[in-house]
Structure 1
Amino acid sequence: MDLKTIDINVDMGEGLDNESFIMPYIASCNIACGGHAGTHESMRKIVDLALEHRVKIGAHPSFPDKENFGRLPMDISYSALFYALKHQLDDFMSVLEKAHARLHHIKPHGALYNLAAVDENIAAVIIELIKSIAIPVKLFVPYKSVIADLALQQDIPITYEAFADRNYHDDLTLVSRTEPNAIITETSAVLEHLLSMVLYHQVNTVSGNRIVIKADTFCVHGDHPNAENLLMDLNKKLTDMGYKIR
């Protein structure tokens, strides 16, 4: 990645209705497609916004579990999980087709994302999902994860992702949202966290260590406290430093 460009992505369509405020300040979006959140109406609305602001469009499939917002592992067979994810992706692709929009990437949500990072069987389901569609798309994955390795083995194009507003453990897993230090809230701290990863390919973990990490896109959560102002301030500070969000 060119050091003077930064791809910031945000998860959207999760019921907060803040997309119109956030879209001008990001490069990529991940749109909930019915598993943990999202409806055809929300998908259409956010796709239109992404096209208006020239933001790259991604699908954000999940365990089919709206009750727990896709944040807990599900007791579900691998075949049932595949078909649930395929149904979500097919719905999203139908929305894109009507809008004459292109799918740029897929990013699993919540527990599905976290499990795929460490569980080869869950990762394999997502790889099969990618292979089931006719167009080439990128897969957003964490660095040094099981799903990243599996995707590379099967020639699936990947984009390494890191989290600008979340703290890490030494093994590059995220601090659980149940912990008080999971989320980084201050813009200055988010910026410092982000630039450490961009410039030095290192992340400062909660144990005080600096661990090597690689990323080409950086997530700021749409449900982050004061997400709109955080992204606006972050965008301005990065622009003032000579970076372009794209």
Structure 2
Amino acid sequence: MLSNPKGYPIDLNADLGEGGKFDPQLLSLITSANIACGGHAGDPHSMRKAVTHALKNSVNVGAHPSFPDRKNFGRTRVDISEAQLSDSIYQQIMALRAICDELGAKLFHVKPHGAFYNEVAKNKVLGLILIDVIKLIDPELKLMILAGSPLVKLARQQGLTVIEEAFADRTYLNDGSLAPRSKDGSVIHDPQQALQQVRQIIRNMPVKTLDGKPIIINATSICLHGDNEQALEFARQISSLLRKEAE
């Protein structure tokens, strides 16, 4: 399902086109890129640049739509109508698709961003809005979403192929959802802690939540945030780990 020319035992994705200075280097280490397409960050120039680098590195190209909220980087819910949200998500994905068409790239998947990611994973109404937009644009587009979330089952029932995602640099709550960024310890800054979490996920071993509870996360892709200060170092070490695990 996922193109993985680097031979990793699991897909490694990152959120790019958000102004991070290490995007080109990250693209040499990851296998899928989620490219900001105007909702929280990104413009035609940044999208074109990200897609060009993704093509050079044989990386799967994905759209990374969000609530239309550049002021807060898409990290807060925006109170807009369902129709307005649908239109915004459609416009964001289509903006990136147009650039993919221009450059000869295939738009492979869609991964929501920030508050939209968290809300859509559990909110059926928002989930159906996203699913309907994806099916309208291209029913073959894959949906990348939080592993084990209610949206996984809903999207599959609606005929979409789902990529279940886990995180290298975020901690979890006991219900398997991501710990909110407002909580201390929600973002992992220690490369060794991130490596251990990745190792546990790909070996189907329990991952400790923020409260210390062990949970199993069944995922087919691991996310590394491109806006994290340690993103490049994390990516290098995780790439090395994945190569060793594939041996």
With the shorter chain as reference, the TM-score category is over 0.9
8 Å CA contact retained: 2:186, 2:210: no
Secondary structure, counterpart of 1:200 in structure 2: coil
8 Å CA contact retained: 1:123, 1:146: no
TM-score after normalising by structure 2:
0.94
8 Å CA contact retained: 1:161, 1:216: yes
The reply to whether residue 194 of structure 1 matches residue 205 of structure 2 is no
User: 1: distance between equivalents of 2:54 and 2:47?
Assistant: 10
User: 1: distance between equivalents of 2:198 and 2:238?
Assistant: 10
8 Å CA contact retained: 1:31, 1:58: yes
User: 2: distance between equivalents of 1:211 and 1:233?
Assistant: 24
Secondary structure, counterpart of 1:195 in structure 2: helix
2:242 is aligned to 238
Of all paired residues, the percent bearing the same amino acid is 37
User: 2: distance between equivalents of 1:201 and 1:124?
Assistant: 32
8 Å CA contact retained: 1:6, 1:243: no
Distance apart, 1:4 and its partner CA: 5.8
8 Å CA contact retained: 2:204, 2:218: no
Secondary structure, counterpart of 2:63 in structure 1: strand
Find runs of 4+ consecutive structure 1 residues off by over 6 angstroms.
none
Pick from 8, 13, 26 the counterpart of residue 30 of structure 2.
26
Pick from 53, 71, 78 the counterpart of residue 67 of structure 1.
71
User: RMSD over aligned Cα, in angstroms?
Assistant: 1.8
Q: 1:150 to 1:135 in 2, by over 3 A?
A: closer
2:146 is aligned to 142
8 Å CA contact retained: 1:160, 1:214: yes
CA offsets, 1:197-237, max 9 Å, x none?
A: 11025321111111122100000101112211221122123
Number of residues paired by the alignment? 243
**Which segment drifts farther, 223-232 or 110-119?**
223-232
2:41 is aligned to 37
1:176 is aligned to 180
The reply to whether residue 55 of structure 1 matches residue 74 of structure 2 is no
Pick from 15, 19, 44 the counterpart of residue 15 of structure 1.
19
User: 1: distance between equivalents of 2:75 and 2:103?
Assistant: 30
Distance apart, 1:185 and its partner CA: 1.5
- Unpaired runs of 5+ residues, structure 1, are none
Which amino acid counterpart does residue 152 of structure 1 have in structure 2? Answer: R
8 Å CA contact retained: 1:116, 1:146: no
Which amino acid counterpart does residue 211 of structure 1 have in structure 2? Answer: I
CA offsets, 1:3-40, max 9 Å, x none?
A: 96121100001112321121111010000000000000
1:113 is aligned to 117
- Unpaired runs of 5+ residues, structure 2, are none
